[in-house]
Structure 1
Amino acid sequence: MKLHIFMGLVTFLVSIPSMANMTDENKQKLDTYLTILDKYNKAMLSVAIYHEDQLTYSHTIGKLDVKKNIPLQADSRFRIGSLTKSFTAVLVMKAVEQGKLSLTQHLADYFPQFPRGKDISLEQLLAHTSGLYNFTDAPEYLSSMTQPTSQDALFAKMASYPLDFEPGTKTRYSNTNYVLLGLILEKAYGVTYGELLARQITKPFGLEHTYVGKKINTEKGEALSFKFNEYWEPSPETDMSIPLGAGAIVSTANDINYFYQQLFKNKIVTKASLKMMKPNNTHIGKGLMSFSFHEKTFLGHNGSIDGFNAIAGYYNEDKMSFVVLSNATNTPFNDILTAVLSAYFNKNFDIPDFTLKPIDLQADQLTAFTGKYQSRMIPRDIQIFVQNDKLYAQPSGRSSFSLQAYPGDEFRFDSAGIIIRFNRISDTQREVKGFTLFEGDGQFDFTRM
């Protein structure tokens, strides 16, 4: 998961002084930012930031249940999706330490009927190098995800797809890997995944609000998820018999922070096991991913399921961890993450103005903005063109995307949090000379070629 999904490498060009804690001014600014998201129905979420074992910042906005008008609290439980994989990987590494599993074992040792199981090691499942097709990408998945599914039926479905590539030759993220690891853990210990999670992690470390989810029960503090269509409406609810070790855990922002703080202190698995979990030549490791904010590299994981989004990260130099759990978003999740990290690391971020309304421009008006633009800050040109009476932008080597017009020569690609603000020569000379591109906390000037 990358915080800058459009420009990528520019995150490494800016230096930010490291600091161990947020300033009061930045806490207040982040409070304001989140309050505005709440006011304009842009998100419902829980944020928590820790420095070592101490809570540095916490804020919740929105509803646990919109219909019943139940607000979210700091201890509200969210489905965390693929963030579950960090827990599953830890359980596997603990099983290796306890002599229950070996990473050199093969899928066929536990499921001999699985096609090519003799060629796929447990280590390859952990590292997403197995070649197994991601069953949640299948076209029919959306029509079946809300229905209870037996393990036999789930197993048969995962086994029915051909390999994406030969095991060990590539890295490609697949939920299939971690569903199978969850099932293997159950075979190795003779207990359910949920029981093993409680025995090995949540009870020893006091994670009282972390467990394998069932049907959402708001009376137990479990949040529903929502999508926005003029108003918040419930999202479909995945039956938790399906994601298992790939995405079935429910937790809180505080519990996940504590989990990561203890993990990186080598309190949950050994130092050697933790080292094996970390990414090497790719950003995908064994239950951990790496992502960057400016020159800082975090280890953690992200997740999404239904209308939930989640991300957790740990920055070793500051012993800092952060967690954002959302049950509804109507604005780019990436923007929220950027604001949270900018507030902690004393980097400026903008408070969005959601009062601006999009406008319609005629094709001849859009033509004034067309052309090829270049920047000294980024080694990538951008072509601006009109197609079907809409303005489009296409960075060199990438796909084009449509832009929505706003007042003041501003255009936006909302799903990626990108704003392009065109610059004219002067008030009297109206020819467009360039634009400034805003993405997250980045700002990049382009001139017309």
Structure 2
Amino acid sequence: MISKYILKITLIVTTIICLQGTAIANEFTKKIDHLLLEKFQPNATGAVFLVAKDGVPIYRKAFGKANIELDVDMKANNVFQMGSMTKQFTALSILILHEQKKLDVNDNIAKYLPNYPNGENITLHHLLTHTSGIKDFTKMKTLWAVAKKDLSPQELVDFFKNEPVDFNPGEKFKYNNSGYALLGHIVEIASGETYEDFVEKQIFKKLNMKDSRYANDREVIKNRAYGYHNKGQYTNRVMVSLSIPYSSGSLMSTVDDMLTWQQAIDKHLLVKQSTVEMAFSKYRLNNGEPISYGYGWHLKDLNGVPTREHGGSIFGFKSMGVYIPSQNLYVIGLTNCDCNSPTQITRNIAALFIENS
């Protein structure tokens, strides 16, 4: 009799807890909807957002249009160009090779590119942390002269390697796409494979990220979201050769695959924990000043809580992902207009959970 009573009470308590959990989840959904519906209109370019707690999606919605001309609604499984979120994959590719002893992050780049100016004083670590001082090729006025040309990695490196440096290696932090282009080329030299093939085999296939790939404007890509600009009115994005952003910004993915990626990083599925921790260490300049960038991730905080995050911007697209290790919370937003950055709103969504934790 007592056991039946205890069982009944347990069922009642469990039901109340479940109802409370559902109510809390519904409240979060309403708050997130409110933020996103204000920013993304049904008949305009759109976005996909995903929020995951402990690896499980608790919010996953699409907004706006994947293709304005054909009046195609955005879907949650649409494929976007991610821009600089590519740097996470380039950094992990370097760490995979580091763990395989095919290179070392403390190697100087002259070991792989003997004719690179001052290469004996610039290390892979400098490239990974944006502290090399190399000129960012995306800031060069002559970029448009090659923007539509299909360059080999060596030709891309040759395009910027003789530019005056901004500072000596390790003196400052300055976000730099050239460094990550060099890293992609070094991945190729150390592995004997193209950067595209290396990332496909060593990351995408191993993690079953079926909707992730090196971007291509010629091939038919299922569920592709089309990119746009808006300077007073919508226009199709400017087309550039994807050999130019290369390993600093040429990958495509979905919010679901990016959650798979985040979980793989967290569970050390590609490299061991001690190797992954190299990506999330806060490094210092030559003078001892700390920087807030590891290897492929910004290491910041949100309302005093440490985060790992990175955004991306490439013609027609913007992206942002925020991971809060202490809560195992991942928020990612992908948009198909470079007029509509998801950066702040992604951080605002993450902040909602911090405020209620």
TM-score (norm 2): 0.85
Question: Which residue number in structure 2 is paired with residue 124 of structure 1?
Answer: 126
- The correspondence for 1:148, drawn from 147, 150, 162, is 150
Structure 1 or 2: larger strand share? 1
Distance 1:207 1:105, change over 3 A: same
Question: Which residue number in structure 1 is paired with residue 174 of structure 2?
Answer: 172
Letter in 2 for 1:233: T
Q: Does 1:24 align with 2:26?
A: yes
Measured in 2, the distance between the counterparts of 1:81 and 1:330 equals: 14
Distance 1:91 1:219, change over 3 A: closer
Question: Which residue number in structure 2 is paired with residue 258 of structure 1?
Answer: 260
Q: Does 1:301 align with 2:310?
A: yes
Structure 1 segments of 4 or more deviating over 6 A? none
CA contact (8 A) 2:134 2:178 kept: yes
Distance 1:191 1:332, change over 3 A: closer
Measured in 2, the distance between the counterparts of 1:91 and 1:142 equals: 29
Measured in 1, the distance between the counterparts of 2:230 and 2:43 equals: 8
- The correspondence for 1:62, drawn from 61, 64, 78, is 64
Identity %: 26
Q: What's the secondary structure of 1:328's corresponding residue?
A: coil
Question: Which residue number in structure 2 is paired with residue 413 of structure 1?
Answer: none
Question: Which residue number in structure 2 is paired with residue 313 of structure 1?
Answer: 322
Distance 1:251 1:38, change over 3 A: same
Letter in 2 for 1:129: T
Letter in 1 for 2:239: E
Question: Which residue number in structure 2 is paired with residue 72 of structure 1?
Answer: 74
Question: Which residue number in structure 2 is paired with residue 381 of structure 1?
Answer: none
Deviation for aligned residue 1:126 = 1.1
Distance 1:334 1:91, change over 3 A: closer
Distance 1:342 1:285, change over 3 A: closer
- The correspondence for 1:159, drawn from 161, 170, 181, is 161
Where in structure 2 are the equivalents of 1:171-190 lying within 5 Å? 171-190=173-192
- How big is each residue's C-alpha offset from its partner over 1:166-221, in whole Å with a ceiling of 9 and x where there is no partner? 11222211101111111111111111111111211111111111111111656522
Distance 1:168 1:346, change over 3 A: closer
Question: Which residue number in structure 2 is paired with residue 3 of structure 1?
Answer: none
Distance 1:110 1:207, change over 3 A: same
Distance 1:192 1:323, change over 3 A: same
Question: Which residue number in structure 1 is paired with residue 300 of structure 2?
Answer: 291
Distance 1:162 1:177, change over 3 A: same
Question: Which residue number in structure 2 is paired with residue 14 of structure 1?
Answer: none
Distance 1:96 1:223, change over 3 A: same
TM-score (norm 1): 0.68
Measured in 2, the distance between the counterparts of 1:216 and 1:74 equals: 23
Measured in 2, the distance between the counterparts of 1:331 and 1:110 equals: 39
Structure 1, unaligned runs of 5 or more: 1-18, 348-449
Question: Which residue number in structure 2 is paired with residue 387 of structure 1?
Answer: none
CA contact (8 A) 1:257 1:312 kept: no
Measured in 2, the distance between the counterparts of 1:324 and 1:266 equals: 24
Measured in 2, the distance between the counterparts of 1:237 and 1:44 equals: 20
Structure 1 or 2: larger helix share? 2
Q: Does 1:273 align with 2:275?
A: yes
Aligned residues: 329
CA contact (8 A) 1:309 1:325 kept: yes
Letter in 1 for 2:97: A
Letter in 1 for 2:329: M
Q: What's the secondary structure of 2:46's corresponding residue?
A: strand
Structure 1 range deviating more: 29-38 or 201-210: 29-38
Measured in 2, the distance between the counterparts of 1:266 and 1:164 equals: 36
Question: Which residue number in structure 2 is paired with residue 91 of structure 1?
Answer: 93
CA contact (8 A) 1:147 1:239 kept: yes
- The correspondence for 2:194, drawn from 188, 192, 195, is 192
Larger radius of gyration between Structure 1 and Structure 2: 1
Measured in 1, the distance between the counterparts of 2:208 and 2:180 equals: 24
Measured in 1, the distance between the counterparts of 2:270 and 2:179 equals: 22
CA contact (8 A) 1:77 1:252 kept: yes
Letter in 2 for 1:34: L
